[in-house]
Amino acid sequence: MTSTLAPSAPAGAFSPARRWAVLAVILAAEVLDLIDATITNLAAPTITASLGGGPSLVQWLGASYALALGVLLVVGGRLGDRYGRRRVFLVGLAGFTAASLACGLAVSPTMLVAARLVQGAFGALLIPQGFGILGAVFPRDQIGTAFSAFGPVLGLSAVGGPVLAATLIDTDPFGLGWRSLFLINIVLGGAGLVAAHRLLPRDTGERATVIDAVGSALLAGAMSALLYGLIDGSAHDWRTTSWVALGAAAILFALFARRQTTAPSPLIQPSLFRNRGFVSGLVLGIAFFAAVAGLLYVISLFLQGGLGYSPLRTALTGSAPVAVGIVIASIACHRLIGGLGRTLILIGLVTTLVGTLALWAAVHVSGIAVSPAVIAPAALVIGLGMGTCFGTVYDITLGDVTPAEAGSGSGSLTAVQQLANALGAAAVTTVYLHAPDQPAQAMTTSLLVVAAITLACCGLVRLLPRAAQPGHH
């Protein structure tokens, strides 16, 4: 996604205090997205106990938000280009807040999943505007300092978010239970909306920007059919409807691929598919991010459903160690990627594989008697591996694309990561939920599937570009 916007005033026209206030607004939006993308990992068992819906709701809770966000992320960026980033940011934040209210008031599984889809759609309007807005507010020599705030803030949110969510569920403020996870966004989103309206710079946009609505609709249909087929198949023993949905997904994906070669402004530039390094990185990213997204989900399900942990104990034993590992590795990789290049990805994959197999061995030997003193270190190692890959896979993948392709490639990879999260939430949990009455067996099978995917990803590393573009990361 490339910018065609001109700010209403040069960056130097903004006072330092206003610049940092704008940065705080953008960071707050990113934190809201990060937390809401992951809270259902912890809350799914509590929500299904309250609303019903069974295993299907568990899977849709994890997939629906990421599905809408991933499908519409590139479109959201281009809407900002066309209609102005400030306007689209405000619409996105207002819609996200309203959808959060709908989530908190949901009285049925269908209502909650629908609200999560709407929440993800408005998130796709909100999130892509941030970097462009900061580019209009900060002088060129200060933009790096502004961007450097994202890592620590999002890192702290990744660690603290699950703990906060679990605490809200366990303490049950005002008798709201899991609903408080969404209703708190009314306060946070409302405050952010007031601040954004006052602080963000006005811009007019460029109405000549073309948006490929047909391509987006085909991608949305394909992913929805794929997820429906996977979830329905696992819930109803792979009836005819499940296979029809998967067949429809294959047809729609083919039509989407065809559309990318004929559309005047495709979501993904066709030339990128002739770049072996980009395609290899795209496939590796889809497989790895889907595997680990699903892994984090089933760890939470196993700890709560299999071991009987509370949400808070689950967060402290599983979610928080993974998040700590991700933060540590991401910070380290920022310094290491220049020297190690694609070798760093292999290190991350192997580290993830080691942590996954360590957890498998522990559950295989001890079953549901496995100790949290064993689970937490394995989760930390998995997080270190994930953080190493999160910080490098797409930087390396873009290592040999041309400057003209960089915007499309970067935006596409970001969207694909979200779609992989949705796919992983559906696919890996399908494996786990195949034996819900035997949690240890379900967990070991899921871990072996994740290990096999991670091992296959190791074979793709040699097809990637050797290094990231200088300064890209």
Percent of the chain's residues with pLDDT above 70: 96
| Short-list 244, 445, 251, CA closest to 236 | 244
Structure tokens at 128: 């892509």
CB 189 within 8 A of CB 97: yes
pLDDT band (50, 70, 90) for residue 417: confident
**Alpha carbon 228 to chain centroid distance?**
19
Distance, C-alpha 67 to centroid of its chain: 9
442 vs 424: CA distance, rounded Å:
16
pLDDT value for 34: 87
How close are the terminal C-alpha atoms of the chain, in Å?
17
Q: 10: pLDDT confidence band, cut at 50, 70 and 90?
A: low
- The pLDDT, as a whole number, for residue 465 is 92
Q: What is the mean pLDDT of the chain?
A: 89
Residue 296: exposed, middle, or buried by beta-carbon count in 10 A (0-12, 13-18, 19+)?
buried
> What's 269-473's CATH class?
mainly alpha
User: What's residue 433's pLDDT?
Assistant: 85
Percentage of residues of the chain with pLDDT beyond 90: 60
CATH of region 1-210: 1.20.1250.20
Domains 1-210 and 269-473 share a fold: yes
pLDDT band (50, 70, 90) for residue 471: low
- pLDDT reported for residue 4: 42
Q: What is the mean pLDDT of residues 280-293?
A: 93
Condensed to tens digits (0 to 9), the pLDDT of residues 217-253 reads 999 999 999 999 999 888 888 899 999 999 999 999 9
pLDDT(214) > 70: yes
pLDDT tens for residues 376-396? 999 999 999 999 998 788 889
Half-sphere exposure of 419 toward its Cβ, with a 13 Å CA cutoff?
24
Predicted local confidence at residue 3, as pLDDT: 42
Which pTM does this prediction carry?
0.89
**Mean pLDDT score, 256-268:** 88
pLDDT per position as a tens digit, 319-350: 999 999 998 998 888 788 888 889 999 999 99
The SS3 assignment for 435 reads coil
Question: Which pLDDT score is estimated for 11?
Answer: 56
Helix residue ranges per DSSP H, 205-316: 213-235, 240-262, 276-301, 311-314
User: Which band of pLDDT confidence, cut at 50, 70 and 90, is reported for residue 151?
Assistant: confident
To 10 degrees, what angle do helices 276-301 and 343-366 make?
30
Find out whether 54 and 235 touch, Cβ atoms under 8 Å.
Answer: yes
Q: What is the per-residue pLDDT across 92-107, written as a single tens digit (0 to 9) for each?
A: 999 999 999 999 999 9
CA max distance for the chain? 64
> Could you state, in order of their start, the residue ranges of all structural domains in the chain?
1-210, 212-264, 269-473
Q: Does residue 12 have a pLDDT over 90? A: no
Tens digit of pLDDT for each residue in 348-380?
Answer: 999 999 999 999 999 999 999 999 999 999 999
